[in-house]
């Protein structure tokens, strides 16, 4: 991520937490996709590692945005998808 020019400034100085109580990942099953809702076993909220930015569009509108950082999947997620969000304790 730090090598992508579009994220470099945010990676260095605009890190954030994205709060959640779960997320969906879609598993390809033939020609269909099956949704899986992923939560912590205890059901408690957690945080994703994220980046944020604020910029002005060509029309003069301020745009606030964020993205969730992903990583290679752990053993539980590996059968479902080839990536997963970075989940922080």
What would the pLDDT profile of 10-45 be if each residue is shown by its tens digit? Answer: 777 899 999 999 999 999 888 999 999 999 999 999
- Check which CATH number belongs to the domain holding 71 and give it: 3.90.1680.10
Per-residue pLDDT of 58-84, as tens digits, reads: 999 999 999 999 999 999 999 999 999
Cα distance between residue 74 and residue 81, in whole Å? 10
Identify the domain containing residue 30 by its residue range.
Answer: 5-88
Closest CA to 21 of 1, 6, 2, 40: 40
Domains held by the chain: number: 1
- pLDDT tens for 36-54 read 999 999 999 999 999 999 9
Q: What is the pTM of this model?
A: 0.79
What is the pLDDT, as a whole number, of residue 79? 94
Position 2 pLDDT exceeds 70: no
């Amino acid at each position: 991520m730090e090598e992508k020019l579009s994220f470099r400034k945010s990676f260095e100085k605009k890190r954030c937490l994205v709060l959640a109580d779960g997320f969906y990942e879609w598993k390809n099953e033939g020609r269909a996709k099956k949704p899986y809702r992923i939560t912590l076993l205890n059901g408690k909220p957690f945080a994703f590692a994220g980046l944020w930015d604020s910029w002005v569009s060509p029309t003069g509108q301020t745009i606030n945005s964020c993205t969730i950082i992903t990583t290679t999947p752990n053993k539980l997620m590996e059968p479902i998808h080839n990536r997963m969000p970075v989940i922080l304790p």
